[in-house]
């Protein structure tokens, strides 16, 4: 039942895809890059005075990005093999208190896949008895304070930007979880079927 | 640029990988495999965005960016950036370099922060999926609250870091 997050992290490659990709698949995957490269080429041919700053800026950002992307990718790999995700659901219940909140924050911030991967996981956690408070915190953290994203943020926008945003986002995420939990309690519970239907893999 | 930070990241991440390799070679191998897969998974969109940033910075002069997104551009620029962030769906690893490029070219901190908080915190495109899995109550209230908090956080970031 454990979803393989790494597979879904990698931007839509199906699980049983053979390693060798056809030329057509490559072209499809890199179509946006090809379009940009074509525009670059046209600029170089027809407006060569503009080409130098374009190439210069592209190169600078390419280096900067690749340099940070390498440790970010390794971090994703480490998390995937190191952390037992099945256990997490157990510790997010209604009585979990600050420990549950902390775990929800950490699990949300952990280097996993894009947000749409988190929805079925959140539904599964709710079914297993996690509180709405913790689930909302998990989703908020997943969306806005992912560790790889924080690393990139600190590199590009500066550590102070990253820290100020983090310091504001964490309490907001918790406060929202609390507000929504109160709202759900007052209006008679969740409006989804927690018994069956939902299946995560 | 924070090169010390980058170095520290390398030391910590690869140090952890080294420790894992000493304790469990098979697991370390698997981690590297997943890392390579993640890297090449995000590479196409990343390269495309880097190309776009290159075009943007190469063709649009900093004066233009300052005029439309800088301090003097006022609330409309911030609000527009926020709305763009809210409705667009760009992976954060990709959008942050884009935001940084605008900031370095002279866009105001509040405007750049509004773009980022809107993008990260309000997830409009995936809202139908969120409703399907978690119900209207939870999904709508989460995104609405995030809309309010995202704007407030952007304003505060602007005030603190301007």
Quick one: pLDDT at residue A85? Answer: 64
User: How far is B59 from A23, CA to CA, in rounded Å?
Assistant: 32
Phi, psi of A112 (to 5 degrees): -120, -160
Q: Which of A37, A74, A117 to mutate to test the interface with B (most CBs of B within 10 A)?
A: A74
pLDDT for residue A199 is more than 80: no
φ/ψ of A93, rounded to 5, equals -70, 180
| Phi/psi at B24 (5° precision) | -150, 95
CB contact under 8 A, A58 and B129: no
Q: Between chains, do B93 and A169 touch, taking CB under 8 Å as contact?
A: no
Q: Where are the domains of chain B?
A: 1-42, 60-161
Chain A residues whose beta carbon lies within 8 Å of the beta carbon of residue B58: 43, 50-58
pLDDT of residue A195: 54
Residue at token pair 């053979």: A18
Q: What is the pLDDT of residue A198?
A: 42
A46 touches chain B (CB under 8 A): no
Q: What are phi and psi of A95, to 5 degrees?
A: -95, 10
Which of B112, B139, B145 is best to mutate for the A interface (most A CBs within 10 A)? B145
> Is it the case that residue A182 has pLDDT exceeding 80?
yes
CA distance B21 to A120: 32
- A35/B48 CB distance under 8 A: yes
Residue-wise DSSP of B72-106:
GGHHHHHHHHHHHHHH----HHHHHHHHHHHHHTT
* Residue with tokens 């520290």, as numbered in its chain: B8
CB of A81 within 8 Å of any CB in chain B? yes
Report the C-alpha gap between B111 and A178 in whole angstroms: 29
* A162 to chain B: closest CA residue: B157
Give whole-number Cα distances, A137 to A140, A161, B43, B113, in Å. 5, 22, 29, 21
Q: Is B137 left (phi over 0), alpha (psi -120 to 50) or beta?
A: alpha
**Mean predicted confidence (pLDDT) in A114-134:** 87
Residue A75 touches partner B, C-beta closer than 8 Å: yes
Q: What percent of chain A has pLDDT over 70?
A: 84
Which long-range contacts link A164-170 to residues 24+ away (Cβ below 8 Å)? A164/B156, A164/B157, A164/B160, A164/B161, A165/B113, A165/B116, A165/B117, A165/B153, A165/B157, A168/B153, A168/B156, A168/B157, A169/A140, A169/A144, A169/A145, A169/B121, A169/B153, A170/A105, A170/A141, A170/A145
Q: B23 burial class (0-12, 13-18, 19+ CB within 10 angstroms)?
A: exposed
DSSP-based three-state secondary structure for A14: coil
A166 part of contact set with chain B, CB < 8 Å: no
Residues A51 and B16: beta-carbon distance below 8 Å = no
- The pTM score is 0.79
Dihedral, CA of residue B94, residue B97, residue B102 and residue B105, to nearest 10: -150
ipTM above 0.85, yes or no: no
A164/B contact by beta carbon, under 8 A: yes
**pLDDT tens-digit map of B104-127:** 989 999 999 999 999 999 999 899
In chain A, where the domains are located: 20-68, 83-186
Higher pLDDT, A133 or A29: A133
- The minimal CB distance from A81 to the residues B30, B41, B130 is found for B30
| CA–CA dist A10, B43 (Å, integer) | 9
pLDDT tens digits for range A86-119: 666 678 888 889 999 999 999 899 887 788 888 9
Mean pLDDT score, A31-52:
92
Which residues, at least 6 apart from B15, have a Cβ–Cβ distance to it below 8 Å? none
Q: Which of B48, B52, B81 is nearest to B157 (CA)?
A: B81
Sequence-separated (6 or more) residues with CB below 8 Å from residue A85: A2, A5, A107
Q: Please answer yes or no on whether A148 and B133 come within 8 Å at the CB atom.
A: no
């Amino acid at each position: 039942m454990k979803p393989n997050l790494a597979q879904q992290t990698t931007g839509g490659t199906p699980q049983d895809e053979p390693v060798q990709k056809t030329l057509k698949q490559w072209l499809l995957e890199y179509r946006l890059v090809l379009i940009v490269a074509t525009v670059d080429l046209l600029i170089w041919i027809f407006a060569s005075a503009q080409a130098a700053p374009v190439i210069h800026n592209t190169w600078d950002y390419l280096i900067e990005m690749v340099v940070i992307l390498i440790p970010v990718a390794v971090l994703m790999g480490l998390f995937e093999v190191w952390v037992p995700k099945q256990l997490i659901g157990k510790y997010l219940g209604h009585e979990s208190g600050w420990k549950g909140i902390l775990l929800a924050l950490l699990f949300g911030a952990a280097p996993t896949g894009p947000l749409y991967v988190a929805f079925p996981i959140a539904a599964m956690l709710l079914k297993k008895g996690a509180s709405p408070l913790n689930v909302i915190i998990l989703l908020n953290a997943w969306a806005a304070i992912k560790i790889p994203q924080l690393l990139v943020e600190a590199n590009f926008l500066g550590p102070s930007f990253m820290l100020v945003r983090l310091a504001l986002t964490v309490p907001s995420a918790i406060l929202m979880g609390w507000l929504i939990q109160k709202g759900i309690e007052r209006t008679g519970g969740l409006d989804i079927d927690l018994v069956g239907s939902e299946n995560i893999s | 640029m924070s090169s010390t930070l980058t170095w520290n990241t390398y030391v910590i991440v690869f140090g952890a990988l080294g420790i894992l390799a000493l304790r469990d070679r098979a697991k370390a191998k698997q981690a590297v495999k997943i890392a390579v897969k993640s890297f090449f998974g995000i590479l196409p969109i990343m390269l495309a965005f880097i190309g776009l940033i290159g075009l943007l910075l190469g063709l649009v002069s900093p004066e233009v960016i300052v005029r439309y997104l800088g301090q003097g551009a006022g609330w409309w620029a911030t609000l527009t950036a926020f709305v763009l962030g809210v409705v667009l769906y760009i992976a954060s690893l990709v959008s942050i370099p884009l935001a940084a490029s605008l900031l370095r070219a002279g866009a105001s901190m509040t405007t750049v922060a509004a773009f980022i908080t809107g993008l990260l915190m309000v997830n409009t495109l995936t809202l139908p999926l969120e409703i399907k899995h978690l119900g209207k109550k939870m999904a709508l209230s989460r995104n609405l609250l995030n809309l309010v908090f995202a704007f407030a956080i952007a304003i505060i970031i602007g005030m603190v870091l301007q």
